[in-house]
Structure 1
Amino acid sequence: MTTNPQENTNKDVRRMVLKALTKVETGGYSNLVLGDALGGEQFNKRDGAFAAALFYGVIERRLTLDHIIKGRSRLPLEKLDKSVLGILRMGLYQLLYMGSVPDSAAVNESVLLCKATGKTSASGFVNAVLRGFIRDGKPLNLPDNNNLPLRLSVEYSCPLPLVRLFLKRFGQEAAKGLLEKSVGTPPLYARVNTARISCEALVARLAEEGVQAVPHEVIPDCISLYHTGNLEKLRAFEEGLFHIQDGSSQLCAFALNALKGMTMLDLCAAPGGKSFTVAEQLQGSGSVLSFDQYDFKASLIQKGAERLGLTNIKAAVGDATIYNPELPSADRVLCDVPCSGLGILRRKPEIKYKPLDSFGSLHDIQFAILQNGARYLKPGGVLIYSTCTLRREENEDIAQEFLCHNPTFAPMPLPELLKPCISVQPNMAVILPQHFDTDGFFIAAFTRTQ
């Protein structure tokens, strides 16, 4: 039987996604794995978008999908062939979450994928599971409400230890809101380059290029973007009228309250968004010194600054844990440290499957960077410590430990805008995704008293 080119392409796309998912299962980073996979194949724009949606969707909903498979397979998951398990997950994800894929196509393509990957003997099993799921009305069969942690774990595909952590730390209502925001397509935010254009004018310019831009209800000069296509091809992008930056990172830069003529050090600056925002706030005055430990990342920051016309930024290679006596004292210092990333699960869903005890080694580097950053701050200046995680051990505990070790520093109250997110003290904010529909984030502010 002959097939049309579209059917062949779809089969190749699904085969590529299956291979990519296998690589992530063995420890690969999702964005790098998918980038390599798409870069090595000749897929059109539509197929590339389909591959990305299926790839990230299966990772994101893995526990939900496995719950369904457990209820329909005589064999336990660990006894299933890994490729067959991957094919089942992909088929179920298409049936549940990809309305553009007809049920018949999801089943038929899964069966063909079994044959294309040498798993012909499993094709009948895959066909039976998927068709049975359709016949029964595609039920999730969630656990009983009496076991809330387990129900939330299955419903939002979040490991039980992490669900329990969220429930204990934030309470039932906030934890459920957080989990709801941990799945689905994340919003795309841009920061208006206020050194070149106003928010209103940029919204109008983007509309001329077919892009819908909506100002954020709370965050100043932040816009949500829709129907963007290739962002880098937009004239507004080429002219440096905006840069892509999540709203939570914009709030972090806002908390610095950088004023004209000030000097700011951004010790862990890549990809550069916070440096760009602060440089814009300085209105061409002062200086922003941005550092990353890798030369190619520092180069990307400098190129981004040049596109935006921000001549007051200088990017360089630097180790955030090591004091550099050649750097000037600064009015503002930002330590946006490496972290476990539990606030960005919508963007990197594989993070949630890491064991919680694997994050313990982060403390030493986080505290070292904060301690080092403090050495550069002028008396009366502002030091910001930030992460994109939601673990107390990486957030409030580090901030309080810093104050215990540094008597010449004091808590610096955060701006009124962050009041809904204030944590244990007025200088600490835990931004949950549901607060502003952003990534999860933590900000702590300090000032040097002498």
Structure 2
Amino acid sequence: MNRQAGFITWSRFRYVVLVGSIIGSMLLSSIGAAGAPSGGALTNKGNAGSNALSVSALAAETVTAPTGLRSTVSTTTSITLVWSPSTSTAGTIARYEIYNGAALAGTSTTTTYRVMGLTADQAYTFSVKAVDSAGNISASSSSVTVYAVADANEPDNTAATALPINYGTLYFSMISSSTDVDYYKFTALSSVNHVTVSVPSIKNYDVILYDSAMNVVASGTKPTGEWEEVTFPVTPGNVYYIKVLGVSGQYMTAIYQLYLSQVVKQYVYNSPGQLLQTYVQKGLYRHQTDMLYDSNGNLTRKLMSKQILGYRDMDTSPAYSPFDNAGYSGLIGLDANNRSVSVDLGSSRGIAKAELTDSDNTTRLSQGNYVIYKSNDNITYTAVTGWLFSASVVNGRMVHAFTFNGLSARYLRITTNFADASPTFYIKLQDDMKLYLNS
């Protein structure tokens, strides 16, 4: 009886094991067929001799780290941060956590956050983490170190204390109180000049230009939020003053930008002698007109655009780096420090071709060293594909041309992949970067 009982017990145990194996295999097959992640654990939750089984198939849930963290607005006491969104395999992104060093500065449900209560001219290092709806937390974004900006140009409230400025340099300042005004002075180099003042979007600032006797030469009085753009005649060698003020005492501790330039005109002709383009550089803007001809050489269309050109140093994340150094007028060694050059066309336009002209006829740059990006929002850039490249020497200078097929964009960025500090390809943006539009 004992042996019989033992046999019966063993038989039942073997039967349960066999059934359990079959059920387990069926369950795992069912899970696989349903698309659940592999690697699930099969467990027996019953007592010995039970055929009650359960399966757990736990997915590896991930949240991507935010990218492209940068600051967009800085005042004496605050900084606005923006970044590109994260994604999650387990659900939606519930919030972002913003860190000042190791301390939590705040949270945001969008991809922007304004950090308040800062001290002017002090460095702050920020990073961001994403948290999804399941509570999973991403790795930290790359950090960014920024400064709250002080009104460093003070005192500049009178002509006697005016800040001396130069052509082609971008100056940053702010109207910091209801009685604050800013004066600048310069010595004219040419007969026609232009000044640009980028006004905070919710404020109304005016610009007044004076000669050395404080007679009004010109003024800019556009409505709230619009940049002031003033072209004015001057006498070379004479001193002039620029005054920036808030209308009816308006002020804001957000910076404005001022840019003084000469008005420069350029003309581009094709080999039959037809006028292809005109360029008029006014302040930050390059006003361009493209002439389109039919196969018989008849002028069919004129395309006008208002462009801003800029460049970025150490552009190691061009897919997420915003437009920078607007209106820069200096010489740029393009093939060094991961530099890029960009143009803002103001709206999405059809771009047929871009050209970069070197200062001489030697360079180490070739087609494989370039990557070109486009964007319509200046937040996310995508690579342009299918473009054609050519290199030629024109009037002793190397010209690199990029021809596009069906390209439309507001922002175009041309990057190179040299990280060292030994450039061979030097350009001045306003003179040596040209775009040819077709719509």
Larger radius of gyration: 2
Q: Normalising by the residue count of structure 2, what TM-score does the alignment of the two structures yield? A: 0.26
* Structure-1-length-normalised TM-score: 0.26
